[in-house]
Each structure stands twice: as structure tokens, then as C-alpha cells.
Structure 1
Amino acid sequence: MIVAVVYNPVRVDVPRVRAAVEAAADASGESDVELLWLETTPEDGGQGQARHALERGASLVLAAGGDGTVRSVAEALRGRDATLGIIPGGTGNLLARNLGIPFASVENACAVAFGGQMRRIDIGVAEAHRPDGSVSEHGFLVMAGLGIDAAMIASARPELKRRFGWLAYVDAAFRAYPNSQKVRVRYRLDRGQERSAHVSTILVANCGALPGNIELIPDGAVDDGLLDVAILQPTSVFGWLAIWRKVTWENRVLRKSSLGRRIIRFTDRAVRTRLSYLRGAAVRLDVDAPEPFELDGDAFGDILRLELRVDPLSLRVAVPSVG
């Protein structure tokens, strides 16, 4: 059995990861496990290394690093028989959070990678149409965003991300908010009618849990063959506070009980004009002037059009066993 470890040396403690992977391999019960260690580079965040692992016959490919490493490896494994194992080491650890994979312990994450169960999940595909006329395609696992969140991610300070993790985005948000303006977006779901809105942010998600106990998309699922769209249109700081209450309290706590859901019905009208949800298998976003966009918490430059779709159940991932 060939197991490849694609690791980002900047994001993970390499000696600790090596020790944890070797211990999990020994405990797996598999005989003759051959470990293939492949380091990411600034030029290749993991996609080329994962393809090399597949050429070598790897049946399990571990992504050890941040969300960018996980996304890059997943792009190479899309539609293949090999399984993705995740050893989280980044700022947000977004997919790991949504799949219940331990992100505070390298050893526990390795145990899941070798001894968990295989689950098939969707991959989002983003086709970016650039201002220079070029078109590029990228996979994403959690969400794509356009608006203030993309500007925030682009301006997040690397040194703060290394020291304080996802809290660095709070600093970036405070710096981005005063200069932010609403973006006019024309959007269309599937083959439906084109609509337009002036938004602070529009997010297209494969799943919806974020750091800080935020449940942005309460009904988002990684295996439903659909994308969930969140349109944020606050008109003031109080509007942002109402959205914050919804995604941290209503979505995460109240909606889980019948009493809480009744409370939401009485309070939801005030928030609905500021945060609305849509759902479809494909989404197209058009803007009048170049706007930055992000995928899974990484900046990807400017676009004039973003076409997003689902590749259903195209990725095999090792997740914690149930029961």
C-alpha cells in the first residue's frame, strides 16, 4: 500500500507530522505500507505533488497543511479512486471543521486518515473569467466569495495569520470595512432568470461552518449535489450585527429546537432583507468592474464573471467512523 503525504513545510511541524503518520501507519494493520513524502513549493501548492503520488500508485494521499494545501490536493484527486486524508495545519481548517476531522491534534487527525471511514463528497468548480479575457478553472471545497470578504482575505496580514490564525481576518475586516462599497452583482441560478443586487458580499458554499462558531449556511451539506448562496446586504453596522446574531446564535443554537425555530420565525423578518439564501446546482455571477474573489479563504485575483457548479460526490475523503 502506497501512502503519500503532501505537506506544506511552512504550515506544519514536519517532525511531528512524520512521527504521527508513521505511528498511525503502524497501528493501521496494513502490511508493507510505503510512505511517499512530497513537499509543496510556492509554485505548486500540492496539485502537482498529488498527481505524482497517483502516478506512483498511491491509494491514500494525506494533505498536511492549510486550506490551500487541502484544496490543491483535492483538485488532483477529483474523480480518482484514491482517498484524501486531512492533517489540518492552517488558519481556518474549513473542510476539517465541516467533516468533524480533528484539527487540534495531528495524532488524532492521522488516526482518522488511516482508520476512519471513506465518505464521498462534492467538489465545487469555479470558472473565473478575468478582466484580460483569460479563463481559469479552480476547485473549491467549502465556499467561494465576492465582495468585502474577498477584499478582507486579500488584505489579511501573513504575519498575523501565522501568529493568531483566523483572528487575523478580524483585523483585516476592520481595515476593509471603512473603504468597502456595495457591489452590483448580476446572478443566475441554474437556468433561471438573471437577477441583480447591490451586495456587501455574496458567498457560494458547498458547506457552511466557519471558525468562531459561525454557522453561515445552516442547511449546507457536502454531499447534496447543490451549492448554497448567501447574499449579504446590510445597510449599517446594526445590519452587520443582526447578521452576526443570526449566524452565531440563531443558525447554530435556536434552529436546533422546536421552540427556537418558533422564535426565529418572529425575529427573522428583520434579518431577511440583510441576509438571504438561495440554492442551485450552478450559479453565475457577473460584475460591471473587476472585483476580487476568494476560494476557501485564499485570494484568487480579480474577475468579471464567475461561473460555479458542483461536481457531485467526486472526492473520496477519510472521515471519523460513526459508532
Structure 2
Amino acid sequence: MNTAAPKGRVAIVYHPGKVELDELKAAVAAAVDKHGWGEVEWWETTKDDPGEGPAREAVARGATMVVACGGDGTVRAAATGLRDTGASLGVIPLGTGNLLARNLKLPLNMEEAVDAVFGGQDAAIDLCTAAVTRPDGSSERFDFVVMAGVGVDAQMIVNTDDELKRKVGFLAYGVAIAKSLAGGNRIRAEYRIDGGQPEKTRVHSLIGGNCGELVGGLPLLPDAQANDGIFDLVFIRPTGVFGWAQIAGRLIRQAGEKVRRRLTRSSAPVTGGAQDLSSLRYLSGTHLEATLKHPEVFEVDGEEIGQVTAFNISIDPGGLVVCQSSPPPVEEPGEVA
């Protein structure tokens, strides 16, 4: 038993449909004793509140760490509740995508994740916000930690068969991606970055992200880092089957180049400028304003939030503290392995 003074109070925010509660409680009790934490409170998420309220209330009651146990929706909601509070977010990934955990190289095994959370160290990452306008003129704000946008990412979620997802896990997304590649460059948008001149474009997908890895390890935004104070954007504009083949080849090349530059400790970006294809354009910034000609389905961190006619993306540098493995991974937060 650890006899040192307790590190602090912990709140476990869990999705009841994702966890084996007795197993999780046993693992948490062992990790708390091993690493010397104090009181643990348990908060169950609901359909009406997937984690934001419990996370905020737990901090108000004195929790210094809130552990999100569930899928990407639970993690995103808890992160929203912890924004700029200084309390740390622990992640026990129990979903299908587990996007933040994959991008930050956190353990995906439940018991290993529990031990890493209670024995880890805190690091600040950025938190993004998407302010969207609905077709009826109403507006909403959604914080996110990985990616948001319109096109293949959002369409993939709409096209994912829930029954297939339950049977084969993240492989179901492969089927959904294949369905989502159809439709051509039908999204018409006007956008500007960091207050610059407005530009018009026609794309298949427009996605902004603070982390770069999509489901299945696809490095959609290979230069994205979770703690660099900017978000990355990708404009996907294929021309037919050849265009998609060209994009696929470039993504594979970029993944390899990412690894090579990490091994050689090169800080040069993988994307941008003359390196980009006309069908795969990359930009970065701290504020994006985009207006769509027609309503499109919007996605934040793997969750479809309905149709929008406009969206702004902004970033809060260091707005979220995340408990990471100790010692930390070799990769910088947000890098693709």
C-alpha cells in the first residue's frame, strides 16, 4: 500500500454502455492504491449529458483529475467540461475509434490505460472549438480535441453500419469510407483563414484538426500536433478514380516521410506549399471561417451533429491538461506512429 500523502481527488466519468463496471472498479482501486491517489467519485453519463456536466461538477467538488471512460463522445464531452480549469483529463479508451488515445499514443488496453492514467504525468494540449450555424439560423458551439469538418469524415459516420461496427469494430469504418468517397467535389464553400481574403472552393471534404490520425491509423493531417497552438486543414478535391488513387498514394508517402523525418529529427513539415497536390491541399491557422452554399452534415471527433450552413473553427492553446504515460512516448503529442 502507498503510504504517501494522497495526490488528489479523482472523478471517474463513465459511459455505462461501454464499460464492465466491476472490472473497471477493481482496476481503478488497484491503481489508486499503487500510485497514491485519494478519494474516487463515480459519475455515470446519460444520453442528455454525455460527460460535460459531470466533469464540470466533479472539478467544482474538488477533483484534480477527471477520467473519461468510454468512446470519443465521452472523451470530448469531459474535455469540454475541463476546459481551462487546470484539472487533468485521464483517458481510458473503451470505444471504437479512440481517436485522442491513438493520437497521443495512450494505451488502448483497459488495465494498461488505468495504470497509465494514475501513474502518468500531465501535459497541456490545445482545444479547438467549432461554432456552427444551422439551416434555420440557430447557432451552437462544440469543443473538440481531434478533428471536425464536412465531407469524408462526416459522411463516414453517417454511412457506418452500427451492427457491423458492433461485430468488427473499427474495420466497419473501412466499409463506410468506401461509401463516402462517392459524390465528387459537390461541397461549395467560401472561407478565409486568420482574417485573410475570402476564397471560394469546391471540395469533396474540408476538415480541420488538432491531431492528425483518423480511424485505422490513416494520417490525414500528418503535420498536426496537439500542442503547437494551431490547427491544420485539409481540402480534399479528387478528380475521379484517378484522383482518389493519387490521394491514397500521397497519404502513404506522407506517412513514410513522417516516420523518416522523426527518425532524423527533422522539423521540416511534410505538407504544404509546392509539396501539395491540387487534389490534397493543406493549410494551417488559428481561425477558420467557412460558409457553405448548401447544408452539409458536420462532424466533431467522430460524432455527427447534424447539418450546418456555416462554421468557424478556433483554437485555445494549452486549454486542456491531459494525463499522459510516464515516461512520455517518444513521439510528440499528436504525431502519427
TM-score in terms of structure 2 length: 0.88
Structure 1 residues 170 and 314: alpha-carbon distance in aligned structure 2, compared to 1, 3 A threshold: same
Tell me by how many angstroms 1:257 deviates.
3.1
- Cα 1:135–1:98 change in 2 (3 A) is same
Tell me whether 1:89 sits opposite 2:110 in the alignment: no
Distance 1:172 1:129, change over 3 A: same
1:101 maps onto 2:106 in alignment: yes
Query: How far apart in 2 are the matches of 1:292 and 1:5?
Result: 32
What's the CA shift string for 1:257-314, capped at 9, x where partnerless?
A: 37999xxx9xx97960110100100111110111111011110111111000001101
* 1:49 equivalenced with 2:47 (yes/no): no
User: Do the aligned partners of 2:206 and 2:235 also contact (CA within 8 Å) in 1?
Assistant: yes
Give the conservation status (yes or no) of the 8 Å contact 1:64–1:89: yes
Which one-letter code corresponds to 1:145 in the other structure?
G
CA offset digits 1:233-277 (Å, max 9, x no partner): 011122212222222x2122134337999xxx9xx9796011010
Compute the displacement of 1:10 (Å): 1.3
How does 1:44-193 map onto structure 2 within 5 Å?
Answer: 44-103=49-108, 105-179=109-183, 182-193=186-197
Task: Report the equivalent of 2:236.
Answer: 232
| Cross-structure match for 1:37 | 42
Confirm whether residue 304 of structure 1 aligns to residue 309 of structure 2: yes
CA–CA distance in 1 between the matches of 2:46 and 2:74? 10
2:25 to 18, 24, 37: 18
The match for 1:320 among 311, 316, 325 is 325
Q: Distance in 1 between matches of 2:61 and 2:255?
A: 43
Deviates more, 1:13-22 or 1:114-123: 13-22
Structure 1 runs (4+) deviating above 6 angstroms are 258-261, 268-271
Contact 1:216 1:251 in 2 (8 A): no
Give the C-alpha shift of residue 73 in structure 1.
0.2
- Answer whether contact 2:173 2:215 (CA < 8 A) is retained: no
- Indicate the larger mover: 60-69 or 179-188: 179-188
- Contact 1:156–1:168 (CA under 8 A) maintained in structure 2: yes
Q: Hey, what's the Cα distance between the residues in 2 that align with 1:140 and 1:178?
A: 27
Q: 1:119 touches 1:319 (CA, 8 Å); kept in 2? A: yes
Question: Contact 1:8–1:39 (CA<8 Å) still a contact in 2?
Answer: yes
Classify the secondary structure of the residue corresponding to 1:151.
Answer: helix
Shift of 1:47: 0.7
Determine if contact 2:188/2:294 at 8 Å carries over to the other structure. no
For these two proteins, the number of residue pairs brought into alignment is 315
1:251 to 243, 251, 254: 254
Q: CA deviation at 1:322?
A: 2.9
Identity of aligned residues (%): 41
Question: Any conservation in 2 of the 1:213–1:252 contact (CA below 8 Å)?
Answer: no
Query: Whole-Å Cα distance in 2 between the matches of residues 156 and 70 of structure 1?
Result: 20
Secondary structure of the residue aligned to 2:89 is strand
5+ residue gaps, structure 1: none
Q: 2:288 is matched by which residue type in structure 1?
A: V
* Partner AA of 1:256 in structure 2: V
Q: TM-score, structure 1 length as denominator?
A: 0.91
- Give 1:258-277 correspondences, 5 Å limit: 272-277=277-282
Q: Distance in 2 between matches of 1:215 and 1:283?
A: 21
